[in-house]
Amino acid sequence: MTEATQNPTAHQGSETREFSAEVGRLLDLVVHSLYSEREIFLRELVANSADATDRRRFEALTDGAQALPENAKISINPDKDARLLTISDDGSGMNRDELVANLGTIARSGTRAFGQKLESAKPEDRPSLIGQFGVGFYAAFMVADKVDVVSRRAGSDEAWRWSSDGKGSYSLEPATRDKAGTDITLHIKSDADEFLDPWRLQDIIRKWSDHIAWPVTIMRDGKEEAANEGTALWRKSRNEVTEEQLEEFYRHITHNFDKPWDTLHWRAEGTMEFSALLFVPSTRPFEFGEQMRESKVRLHVRRMFITDDAEILPPWLRFVQGVVDTEDLPLNVSREMLQATPILTRIRKAVTTKVVNELKTRAKDAQSYATFWDNFGPVLKEGMWDDPTYKADVAALSRFRSSAVEGLTSLDDYLTRMKPEQDAIYYVTGDNTDVLNASPQIEGFKARGVEVLLLSDPVDSFWPERLGTYEGKNLRNVAQGLNDLEKFGAPETNAAEKADMDTLLPALKTALGDAVSDVRATDRLVSSAMVLSAPEGGPDLQLRKLMQRSGQDIPDVTPVLELNPTHPIVHTLAQKVQAGDKIDSLAHILLDVASIQNGETPKDVNAFSRRIMDYLAKGATA
């Protein structure tokens, strides 16, 4: 939502603001592309009301002005004659600025990406995008041709009205409300009569919102009737809860439409007591990797929501969602106290260990676990980098692509395939596993039957150094494991005649000058002519590339150019040197091609292009 241009006719604090063109387009997509699941608008609005009421209760612990009324609830009032549906709550409410900010969620949730995803999605997949992008409020426009929001912030005497038809603009003006909270009034479309029927509304609440802790009521024939049970599922034993109830609660708390890949439901008793109900999604939320790293598991104290910022789980388990409810913390616990209390520290450790053990159990089903790994493996691997307590557990849970086998493999499986004389686990890092599998960097290892793990996630450039070893075997980047090749013997493919490197290497060093730190022969190449490597003790080239992408200022590293003495191109270069020909241009072409093989752009693209064109123009055959 753009910052407003006030309407010239605005008076007494009223004004009209324009949606940005992009947001207007997305509103149109939401209204027309999610038609088949119109009922979810009610789930989203009731969930927002419940969150606002939770927020007010938490704020009231430290601010008496926020105190909730004793009969706080969420009310749904259908008016068939006026064709109005009103959802009211006693929550924290919003002032004028908060109405502008909070009803602009679409604009803060990746509008362009959302629009592209929505347009390309299959009709049956579109509903799940609502929760993933935080556009739940705007689902109201699927059933309403106008929406009015009247809200009064707790602790304030002022109320404001936000109104929009969802077609391009919204208005703001002062309003009246006798108490704090929010009323959302939908002017129901002519083809949405079902959402004015109390019985239909009751079915929707039972389906989507039955587990909300606050009472939800529906006005029917002039009487207010309870619409939900408000049961805290996490406090029930597992055998008292059906799979359908668990799935409904999962959808409520995650705003997803898939079924959970795994559900953890248990109660801890003894020195500390808490109940937990956690879920691992079966699909990866769109733009998941761009989210904040903090865990958002909800902390409750005696059923009352306290915060979702307690960091119950470490960042590398942030894909897990759910509720942890304890008796051992005071209701007026502050965020500062949460960070310092040893009770929460013990709860965090117990919950993390439970999740890790559950993943170990689920990992025994390789096919199912592969689905999980494709969704959340890159996040889980972060635990090997930033959590010394669990890094060995995460290593055992991790799966990798390999030069030796199809599909995924574990480190334990890798150990069973190691050669007798092998004392290290070899890996190579890059941006794409297929490219890595064909990379000159691993030719010598593959030719000798030594397996190499192909690591293509950004975190893969960091965690191997932190993990160090696995089951007594060092993890070694192939760039640092070149000297190990001698112990595995020479591959048969390297039996070809070698070029005269004694004259070629000095000539190349002279031609390339400061562009390389060294030029040397290597026996790790089989079909490739050359490869770049980091100088002794220098940073890995892939790590350096990642750091540059992230905008970090790092010292420039001059690479080493390594040549395959048996390759025809190297033979040709050696012959040219022996004949007294100049090889400056060819030497730079060789270096630039090696850079391209390494996934980098030549430092001087124009110079590279000129050299190639000159070489082709001369009709060179070398």
Q: Calculate helix-pair angle for 568-578, 584-597, nearest 10 degrees.
A: 160
In a domain, 171, yes or no: yes
Confidence (pLDDT) at 555: 63
Q: Looking at the structure, do residues 64 and 201 belong to the same domain, yes or no?
A: yes
Taking the C-alpha atoms of residue 155 and residue 179, their distance in angstroms, rounded to an integer, is: 10
**Which stretches does DSSP call E strand in 494-564?**
518-521, 530-533, 560-563
Q: Looking at the structure, do residues 74 and 209 belong to the same domain, yes or no?
A: yes
In a domain, 60, yes or no: yes
Amino acid at 107: A
Domain boundary among 338, 372, 406: 372
Q: Are 117 and 131 in contact, with CB atoms under 8 Å apart?
A: no
In a domain, 377, yes or no: no
Confidence (pLDDT) at 302: 78
DSSP code at position 170: E
Candidates 89, 77, 102; CA nearest to 152 is 89
pLDDT band at 481 (very low <50, low <70, confident <90, very high): low
Q: Looking at the structure, do residues 208 and 239 belong to the same domain, yes or no?
A: no
List the binding residues. Answer: 44, 48, 89, 94, 102, 109-110, 132-137, 182, 335
Q: Are 477 and 451 in contact, with CB atoms under 8 Å apart?
A: no
CA distances from 85 to 93, 145, 159, 199, 603 (A): 19, 12, 20, 14, 64
In a domain, 14, yes or no: no
Q: Looking at the structure, do residues 138 and 210 belong to the same domain, yes or no?
A: yes
More confident call, 555 vs 293: 293
Strands 260-268 and 274-281: antiparallel
List the binding residues for ATP. Answer: 44, 48, 89, 94, 102, 109-110, 132-137, 182, 335
Q: Looking at the structure, do residues 261 and 144 belong to the same domain, yes or no?
A: no
Q: What is the CATH number of the domain that holds 558?
A: 1.20.120.790
Two structure tokens written together for 24? 């207007």
Taking the C-alpha atoms of residue 452 and residue 417, their distance in angstroms, rounded to an integer, is: 11
Q: Looking at the structure, do residues 425 and 363 belong to the same domain, yes or no?
A: no
In a domain, 9, yes or no: no
Q: Give me the phi and psi of 178, to 5 degrees please.
A: -75, -15
Q: Looking at the structure, do residues 365 and 512 belong to the same domain, yes or no?
A: no
Q: How many domains does the chain have?
A: 4
DSSP letters, 535-554, are PTTPPPHHHHHHHHHTT---
Q: Looking at the structure, do residues 217 and 257 belong to the same domain, yes or no?
A: no
Two structure tokens written together for 95? 């002032």
Q: Looking at the structure, do residues 483 and 505 belong to the same domain, yes or no?
A: no
Q: Are 499 and 541 in contact, with CB atoms under 8 Å apart?
A: no
pTM of the model: 0.69
CA distances from 422 to 463, 468, 476, 488, 525 (A): 22, 16, 11, 8, 19
Q: Looking at the structure, do residues 199 and 288 belong to the same domain, yes or no?
A: no
Q: Looking at the structure, do residues 505 and 563 belong to the same domain, yes or no?
A: yes
Taking the C-alpha atoms of residue 47 and residue 39, their distance in angstroms, rounded to an integer, is: 13
When the pLDDT of each residue in the chain is averaged and rounded to a whole number, the result is 84
Distance of CA 401 to the CA centre of its chain: 21
Confidence (pLDDT) at 312: 94
DSSP letters, 69-123, are PTT--EEEEEETTTTEEEEEE-S----HHHHHHHTTGGGGS-HHHHHHHHHHS-G
Q: Are 464 and 411 in contact, with CB atoms under 8 Å apart?
A: no
Amino acid at 405: V
In this predicted structure, the answer to whether residue 286 has a pLDDT above a threshold of 70 is: no
Q: What is the CATH number of the domain that holds 457?
A: 3.40.50.11260
Taking the C-alpha atoms of residue 503 and residue 578, their distance in angstroms, rounded to an integer, is: 7
In this predicted structure, the answer to whether residue 106 has a pLDDT above a threshold of 60 is: no
Confidence (pLDDT) at 2: 37
In a domain, 541, yes or no: yes
* Across 90-104, 173-187, 288-302, 520-534, least confident range: 288-302
Judging by beta carbons within 10 Å of its beta carbon (0-12, 13-18, 19+), is residue 107 exposed, middle or buried? middle
Question: 3-class SS at 62?
Answer: coil
Q: Looking at the structure, do residues 80 and 178 belong to the same domain, yes or no?
A: yes
Strands 469-470 and 274-281: unpaired
Domain boundary among 435, 455, 487: 487
Burial state string for 73-88 with b = 16 or more CB within 10 A and e = fewer than 16: bbbbbbeeeebbbbbb
Domain range for 606 is 501-621
Tell me: the pLDDT tens digits for 47-68? 889 888 988 888 887 788 888 9
In a domain, 245, yes or no: yes
Taking the C-alpha atoms of residue 433 and residue 83, their distance in angstroms, rounded to an integer, is: 58
In this predicted structure, the answer to whether residue 371 has a pLDDT above a threshold of 90 is: yes
In a domain, 16, yes or no: no
In this predicted structure, the answer to whether residue 9 has a pLDDT above a threshold of 60 is: no
